């Protein structure tokens, strides 16, 4: 039988039932309250609870009513504020800046439960009602906006979120260690403004005389006026994301300084096990049941987190700034204990949906040197080719999967997190590994992320050359043939990434033509905070080399690049036609076996081409 586990208080009645007169901390989050370790607010609140602190939760307060942050009263030590599991601007808007219609982290998927830039809004609400009470912000939104950053939605460089929110402190990264140190410091009587010494935090100060071993970044004014300075500043930050070799970073503003302390040390396996052994209920709060529950729980309720961190180094990924490049993993015993508990759930059907991690087949740091020296500042483990110091070993990963599928009550263990195929191919046992994955851990299709096929674009993405992907596909096909299985690969593809020209987009379309694949979904590049790719998008420079990069920014060209990937869709005909003509590739228009689209211009009298696709409404063709 499973032990009884209770949700943390969300109301005064809940506090009364526990005999609490006051919370030590109140955590305000832009997500609905889901007490599951896939939700950061659940982890932080449970870690604090384990350390003896009383935590209350205010989930999705009414941002039009400042009173909504007062429902649990004034906390004894301070407020914690999170924008949720995603940046709220990403939650609300598509890459085309259109409003989304569904929110996976809100009751019933209903939009409108949270404001834009929730961390800023909630903090200002707290200030209005509680004055100078300590406010610590964290989570993805605060973590990736901790220094001056390019904001795609406003198309400008914004200040550190610490300034715009008027919070006292940022706990960046995963936060378990730093939040306990912050809590202990406040408990000891330290003023929040004197808590300047904790790794994994960012603070503001008017005096830097006591700051040591730091790098002075360009000022905010310099960043506004010089994109080259922005790129250089970003790359300094990128090279200071490993705790063993990072310095403090100082960013000057008109009348203050933002100081970023080095990151917290990665969790040990024992520490990570303890985090995932806390008293999570494992579900959304029952208060949401009448509204249809919280959609985001469906994919993660019967999934198990295996590891954190990623040394893949994709340019468009912000993991380097948040989880870091050092792999941190749970023990087999910890994971198996969680799997066993999942089998007790009345809704469990025998399927573990995912053994989740940023990259599923990363279970250990990429080399032995990292424990002492940290990850290399200006080198990647896998790009442009695998580092000779990298230790490639899937033994632990495969042993874990075998143990999981032997747990009584488990029928199947699926891998839905990304597999880094270039790392897999470096293993001398890759053929047998691929075969075992195909036999036991794939549900009809494997999702992988080549992202593109143009080596020019892949270079800017930090991804392996297309020949590596093709080699993996051949081995995958062979393994399935040997097993007598009909399983497919679903490749994630991205359009309009910095560096991608129309020529590159056409090369991708031709590749898809040749393999007879029609992707249902395409991700247009989305410039989110704190990625190399976003820096390239804004500055037109590769911050690693300071070389100029071509960037498709006009809505028309971005639409054409996206349409080329789905050239078989009739709705995309005129966009594809215009793109091919613009690139001088009319040879791909016609009835030949290599053509992407037919030539309709001689077959129709009138065109229904939209003006944005190069036509003039229903004008007569010549």
pLDDT, tens only, 96-121: 999 999 999 999 999 999 999 999 99
* 384: preceding bond cis by omega (within 30 degrees): yes
Report pLDDT for 618: 30
> CA 366, CA 387: separation in Å to the nearest integer?
9
Residue 147 clears pLDDT 80, i.e. is over it: yes
On whether residue 45 sits in a domain, the answer given is yes
Q: 532 falls in which pLDDT band (50, 70, 90)?
A: very high
Closest to 247 in 3D by CA, of 236, 263, 262, 265: 262
On whether residue 134 sits in a domain, the answer given is yes
**Is residue 305 helix, strand or coil?**
strand
Q: 398 falls in which pLDDT band (50, 70, 90)?
A: very high
Closest to 357 in 3D by CA, of 383, 323, 381, 389: 323
Q: From the CA atom positions of the chain, what is the Rg in Å?
A: 25
> CA 427, CA 450: separation in Å to the nearest integer?
19
Indicate the average pLDDT of the chain.
94
Please report, for the domain that includes residue 107, its CATH number: 3.40.50.280
On whether residue 88 sits in a domain, the answer given is yes
The parent domain of residue 89 ranges over: 12-202
On whether residue 23 sits in a domain, the answer given is yes
Between residues 12 and 520, the one the model is more confident about: 12
Instruction: Give residue-wise pLDDT tens across range 470-487.
Output: 999 999 999 999 999 999
With beta carbons less than 8 A apart as the criterion, state whether 527 and 538 touch: yes
Between residues 5 and 265, the one the model is more confident about: 265
Report pLDDT for 22: 98
Mean pLDDT of 340-346: 95
CA torsion through residues 272, 278, 283, 287, sign: negative
Residue 617 clears pLDDT 90, i.e. is over it: no
Q: 605 falls in which pLDDT band (50, 70, 90)?
A: very low
- CA distances to 51, 244, 482, 520 from 54, rounded to whole Å, are 9, 33, 57, 47
> CA 542, CA 551: separation in Å to the nearest integer?
11
On whether residue 497 sits in a domain, the answer given is no
Report pLDDT for 600: 85
CA torsion through residues 219, 221, 242, 145, sign: positive
Q: How many C-beta neighbours within 10 Å does residue 80 have?
A: 29
> CA 563, CA 567: separation in Å to the nearest integer?
6
Whole-angstrom distance between the N-terminal and C-terminal Cα of the chain?
77
> CA 192, CA 180: separation in Å to the nearest integer?
14
On whether residue 596 sits in a domain, the answer given is no
> CA 381, CA 369: separation in Å to the nearest integer?
12
Percentage of the chain beyond pLDDT 90 is 91
Residue 513 clears pLDDT 60, i.e. is over it: yes
Residue 206 clears pLDDT 80, i.e. is over it: yes
Residue 238 clears pLDDT 80, i.e. is over it: yes
On whether residue 230 sits in a domain, the answer given is no
Domain count, the chain: 1
Long-range contacts of 245-249 (CB under 8 A, 24+ apart): 245/373, 245/374, 245/377, 246/374, 247/213, 247/214, 247/215, 248/211, 248/212, 248/213, 248/214, 248/215, 249/147, 249/214, 249/215, 249/217
Mean pLDDT of 215-237: 98
Tokens of 595: 């053509």
Report pLDDT for 621: 27
Report pLDDT for 134: 98
Residue 453 clears pLDDT 90, i.e. is over it: yes
Report pLDDT for 616: 32
């Amino acid at each position: 039988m499973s032990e009884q586990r209770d949700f943390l208080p969300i109301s005064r009645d809940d506090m009364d039932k526990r005999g609490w007169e006051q919370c030590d901390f109140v955590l305000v989050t832009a997500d609905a309250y889901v007490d599951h370790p896939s939700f950061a607010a659940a982890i932080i609140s449970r870690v604090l609870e384990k350390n003896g602190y009383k935590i209350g939760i205010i989930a999705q307060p009414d941002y039009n009513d400042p009173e909504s942050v007062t429902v649990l009263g004034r906390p004894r030590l301070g407020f914690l504020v999170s924008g949720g599991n995603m940046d709220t601007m990403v939650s609300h808007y598509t890459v085309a800046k259109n409003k989304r219609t569904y929110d996976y982290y809100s009751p019933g998927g209903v939009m409108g439960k949270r404001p834009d830039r929730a961390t800023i809004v909630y903090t200002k609400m707290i200030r209005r009602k509680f004055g100078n009470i300590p406010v610590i912000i964290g989570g993805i939104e605060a973590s990736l906006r901790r220094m001056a950053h390019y904001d795609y939605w406003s198309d400008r460089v914004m200040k550190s979120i610490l300034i715009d929110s008027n919070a006292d402190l940022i706990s960046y990264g995963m936060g378990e260690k730093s939040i306990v140190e912050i809590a202990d410091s406040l408990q000891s009587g330290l003023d929040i403004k004197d808590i300047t010494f904790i790794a994994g935090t960012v603070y503001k100060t008017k005096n830097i005389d006591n700051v040591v071993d730091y790098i002075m970044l360009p000022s905010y004014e310099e960043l506004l006026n010089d994109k080259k300075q922005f790129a250089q500043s970003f790359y300094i930050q990128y090279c200071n994301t490993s705790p063993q070799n990072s310095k403090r970073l100082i960013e000057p503003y008109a009348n203050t300084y933002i100081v970023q302390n080095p990151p917290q040390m990665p969790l040990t396996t024992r520490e990570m096990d303890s985090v995932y052994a806390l008293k999570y209920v494992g579900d959304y709060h029952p208060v949401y049941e009448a509204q249809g529950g919280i959609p985001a729980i469906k994919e993660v309720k019967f999934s198990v987190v295996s590891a954190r961190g990623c040394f893949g180094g994709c340019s468009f990924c912000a993991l380097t700034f948040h989880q870091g490049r050092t792999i941190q993993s749970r023990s087999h015993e910890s994971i198996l204990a969680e799997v066993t508990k999942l089998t007790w759930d009345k809704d469990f059907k025998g399927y573990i949906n995912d053994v989740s991690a940023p990259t599923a087949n990363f279970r250990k740091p990429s080399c032995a040197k990292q424990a002492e020296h940290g990850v290399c500042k200006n080198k990647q483990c896998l790009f442009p080719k695998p580092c000779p110091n990298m230790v490639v070993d899937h033994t632990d990963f495969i042993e874990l999967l075998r143990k999981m599928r032997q747990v009584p009550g488990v029928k199947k263990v699926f891998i839905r997190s990304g597999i880094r195929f270039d790392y897999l191919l470096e293993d001398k046992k890759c053929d047998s590994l691929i075969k075992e994955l195909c036999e036991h851990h794939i549900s009809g299709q494997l999702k992988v992320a080549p992202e593109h096929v143009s080596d020019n674009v892949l270079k800017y993405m930090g991804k392996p050359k297309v020949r590596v992907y093709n080699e993996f596909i051949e081995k995958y096909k062979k393994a399935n043939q040997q097993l007598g299985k009909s399983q497919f690969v679903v490749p994630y593809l991205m359009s309009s990434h910095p560096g991608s020209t129309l020529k590159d987009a056409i090369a991708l379309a031709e590749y898809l033509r040749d393999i007879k694949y029609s992707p249902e979904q395409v991700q247009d590049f989305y410039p989110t905070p704190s990625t190399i790719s976003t820096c390239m998008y804004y500055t037109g420079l590769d911050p690693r080399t300071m070389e100029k990069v071509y960037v498709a920014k006009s809505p028309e060209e971005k639409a054409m690049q996206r349409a080329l990937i789905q050239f078989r869709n009739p709705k995309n005909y005129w966009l594809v036609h215009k793109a091919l003509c613009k690139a001088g590739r009319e040879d791909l228009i016609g009835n030949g076996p290599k053509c992407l689209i037919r030539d309709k211009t001689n077959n129709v009298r009138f065109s229904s081409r939209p003006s944005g696709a190069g036509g003039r409404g229903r004008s007569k063709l010549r």
